[in-house]
Amino acid sequence: MNDNGKLLNYINGEWRRSAASEYLDVVNPATSEVLGQVPLSSGAEVAEAAEAAARAFVSWRRTPAPERIQYLFKLKNLLEEHFEELSRTITMECGKTLAESRGEMRRAIENVEVACGIPMLMQGDVLEDVASGIDEFMIRQPVGVCAAICPFNFPGMIPFWFLPYALACGNTYIVKPSEKVPLTMQKVFHLLEQTGLPKGVVNLVHGAKEAVDMILDHPTIRAISFVGSTPVAKYIYSRGAAAGKRVQSQGGAKNPIVVLPDADMEMTTRITADSAFGCAGQRCLAASVAVTVGEARHTFTEAMAAAAAGRVVGYGLDEQVQMGPVISKPSQQRIEGLIQQGVEEGATLLVDGRRPAISGYENGNFVRPTILRNVNPAGEIAKTEIFGPVLSLIHLDSIDEAIQFVNSGQYGNMACLFTNSGAAARQFRYEAEAGNIGINIGVAAPMAFFPFSGWKDSFFGTLHGQSKHAVEFFTQTKVIVERWPKQWSRQF
């Protein structure tokens, strides 16, 4: 599975040493310990994977759906058996706490469970007598070779928004994990190998831009699922579409939450702190701006300051730790720079988490929870994705103004409202321009049987990951119109 710490690719059912000339260190963000080395595979290696997947597709698509899902049942059991090991790997390479990593793996497994329903989910439609004696069917057939390009922040879960559905629908697959966190997928592929899937059905290629560009351009790859930052999401969407592929491309976010004066403040602040500071703010559904309306301001501000200051920060493998480091030194520097920019735009630092001393982990990339108050709603910091444990506070006078603010941003991944009022909740879910809405929820993450929606610059495409959307994305419809004149049956 690895060669002196150098990760291998998994192509055509075998672990292969990459021909890459360049390897990157995989670094534990809490300790700076080097965990392994990831190859920046060449385009030629992606092409080998695509060709192996294309050969495997010929018989995989002919494997009956009830047989295909048997491999997923095996995978589900193996993931359960290796649950702790996978969760620890996520914490070691990505930095989040063990509880957060376990939550992530649970979400991954739920997608395998949903995809096991493919014999029902993949069914088509039939209507007899669309005209007299003529019947029409719509069936779903797999698309072919598909690929996922993944971000660093959920190394265990995000590939599972796509892979189980793709396989269950009869496609063959290539995963390109983030080069920052390749170890979790390396372990998952070891488990996929143990399921006995035919060679070439699943392939793992490590790498970065060169590998991605070959995924975008290789004519054999028919569909691409991307999750990452918005500039790269746009690039993937346009270059993939130009090559004639289906593309679903999820981008960045800047998620607002709105707190009305009638909200349950204890619950609201607890949930908001988890949303803003959980996973060190490196969640595409992290609350990044909190808008208080009317009298909500004072109690909410005080309670959030206490929640931020009291959060236990450290190495995620220590069970009592509530927040881990951010992914890298450049990321830490970028977050600290954005905090400074907020101050320069006129905000005040209610809680300053820059350059903390975390005893025993002096080499880690830590930023403690930070709160900026009186942030200018029209300023840059209210709009820019920080992707760190930083919450901006804004105060407005009415729910209408708050919704106007929510809708003014470039992103539309999530928006949440905290209130006791059903009428306010209805107005918010009706008018807010975001694909995932939380009402008295801090992280409105859809379960596997709902699509992971995203709007505006948080998503490019039509069909999202997970659920029936994934089944539609990984199948192409074929419509058959049939006439069988009755008189022909008299021949027999």
Stretch that binds ligand NAD, among 176-184, 255-263, 302-310, 315-323 (CB under 6 A): 176-184
Minimum CB distance to ligand NAD, residue 252 (Å): 3
Minimum CB distance to ligand NAD, residue 489 (Å): 54
**Exactly one of 95, 251, 353, 412 binds ligand NAD (CB under 6 A); which one?**
251
Minimum CB distance to ligand NAD, residue 253 (Å): 5
**Exactly one of 69, 192, 232, 470 binds ligand NAD (CB under 6 A); which one?**
232
465/179 Cα distance (integer angstroms): 21
Tokens of 258: 């709105």
Stretch that binds ligand NAD, among 53-61, 84-92, 206-214, 296-304 (CB under 6 A): 206-214
**Exactly one of 171, 178, 195, 301 binds ligand NAD (CB under 6 A); which one?**
178
Stretch that binds ligand NAD, among 88-96, 251-259, 299-307, 398-406 (CB under 6 A): 251-259
Q: Should residue 215 be labelled a site residue for ligand NAD when binding is judged by CB under 6 A?
A: no
Minimum CB distance to ligand NAD, residue 8 (Å): 18
Minimum CB distance to ligand NAD, residue 29 (Å): 13
Taking the least distance from each CB to ligand NAD, the nearer of 178 and 475 is 178
Taking the least distance from each CB to ligand NAD, the nearer of 9 and 250 is 250
Q: Should residue 160 be labelled a site residue for ligand NAD when binding is judged by CB under 6 A?
A: no
Q: By rule CB under 6 A, what count of residues binds ligand NAD?
A: 28
148/162 Cα distance (integer angstroms): 7
Please say if 284 is a catalytic residue: yes
In sequence order, the β-bridge partners of residue 34 are 27
Stretch that binds ligand NAD, among 196-204, 250-258, 290-298, 397-405 (CB under 6 A): 250-258
List of residues 6+ apart from 262 with CB closer than 8 A: 419, 420, 421
x-marked contacts with ligand NAD along 300-319 as a string, rule CB under 6 A: --------------------
66/68 Cα distance (integer angstroms): 6
Helix axes 43-60, 209-217, angle to 10 degrees: 40
Minimum CB distance to ligand NAD, residue 301 (Å): 26
Taking the least distance from each CB to ligand NAD, the nearer of 174 and 253 is 253
Taking the least distance from each CB to ligand NAD, the nearer of 152 and 474 is 152
Task: Estimate to the nearest angstrom the gap between the alpha carbon of 5 and the chain centroid.
Answer: 27
CB atoms within 10 A of CB 51: 17
Tokens of 104: 């992530």
Stretch that binds ligand NAD, among 10-18, 21-29, 172-180, 441-449 (CB under 6 A): 172-180
**371-430: which residues touch ligand NAD (CB under 6 A)?**
385, 387, 413
198/13 Cα distance (integer angstroms): 7
Q: State the residue number with the nearest CB to ligand NAD.
A: 228
Taking the least distance from each CB to ligand NAD, the nearer of 195 and 248 is 248
Taking the least distance from each CB to ligand NAD, the nearer of 252 and 316 is 252
Q: Should residue 250 be labelled a site residue for ligand NAD when binding is judged by CB under 6 A?
A: yes
**Exactly one of 7, 30, 105, 212 binds ligand NAD (CB under 6 A); which one?**
212
**Exactly one of 108, 114, 149, 185 binds ligand NAD (CB under 6 A); which one?**
149
**Exactly one of 10, 57, 60, 152 binds ligand NAD (CB under 6 A); which one?**
152
Stretch that binds ligand NAD, among 108-116, 152-160, 306-314, 361-369 (CB under 6 A): 152-160
Residue 82, CA atoms < 13 Å, CB-side half-sphere: 22
Q: Should residue 253 be labelled a site residue for ligand NAD when binding is judged by CB under 6 A?
A: yes
Q: Should residue 284 be labelled a site residue for ligand NAD when binding is judged by CB under 6 A?
A: yes
The catalytic residue among 94, 150, 169, 284 is 284
360/8 Cα distance (integer angstroms): 32
- Pick from 145, 140, 141, 119: nearest CA to 57: 145
Fill in the amino acid letter for 42.
Answer: S
Residues that bind ligand NAD (CB under 6 A): 149-154, 176, 178-179, 208-209, 212, 227-229, 232, 235, 250-253, 284, 385, 387, 413, 452, 454, 458
Please identify every residue annotated as catalytic.
Answer: 284
